A = this chain, B = another copy of it.
Amino acid sequence: MNEMVDNLGVAPLRAEDHLREAIVTGRLQPNERLVESDLARSLGVSRTLIRAALVRLEHEGLVEHVRHRGARVRLVSESEAVEILETRSVLEGLAARLAAQRATDDDVGDLKSILAEMQRLREADDLLAVSDLNAQLHRRLLEISGHETAARLIGALNSQMVRFQYRTILLPGRSERSFAEHAEIVAAVATHDGDRAEAAMRTHLSRVADALR
């Protein structure tokens, strides 16, 4: 467990990023206690920095902190995951609407090539890679929308969902339907039909929520 030797670079946010990464990748398990002095020692910084990091991670919903009792990795329940998906549904619906209104031809080209690549990987049965491309497609749509507020909120919601990330795409038949849903979104954006893009995105994420249940 000796990974202390990478403090050289710039690294002031490093402690926080390390922690975040350890949580979202599951290296720190849900409900695991986060003892400040242990973290401080293992990351080679002082408790002060760890505390600051924990405060921020708490605000991001990754950590739960109760006074005098310390912090632990927050467990998001399935019902909460559904709530998060419902919220993402309307936020990304908004973003999709705007993306449809604002997309340039290049933007549409990007989306279509992501879609084509998804198709290819799907036929090769590499469902995990497909799931990663899903995320990329959603990210690209957000960029195109140019809506920073929505992007920020969606980002925070996503980081709480990593635990469920690969879960739905693996269900039998889900991958085909998911692809069709994404294709519909891209088609709507390509024709600059905001209403249709929003509806398609909401349908898509509702289906994901259904799949989770």
Contact = CB atoms under 8 A, between A and B. Distances in A.
Interface stretch (A38-46, A52-60, A176-184): A52-60
Interface in A76-112: 80, 83-84, 86-87, 89-91, 93-94
Nearest to A153: B153
A80 B149 CA distance: 8
Given A87-B147, A90-B93, 13 more contacts: A12-B67, A51-B52, A52-B55, A59-B59, A83-B147, A83-B149, A86-B149, A86-B150, A87-B91, A89-B94, A90-B91, A90-B94, A91-B91
Interface of A: 12, 51-52, 55-56, 59-60, 67, 80, 83-84, 86-87, 89-91, 93-94, 147-150, 153, 157
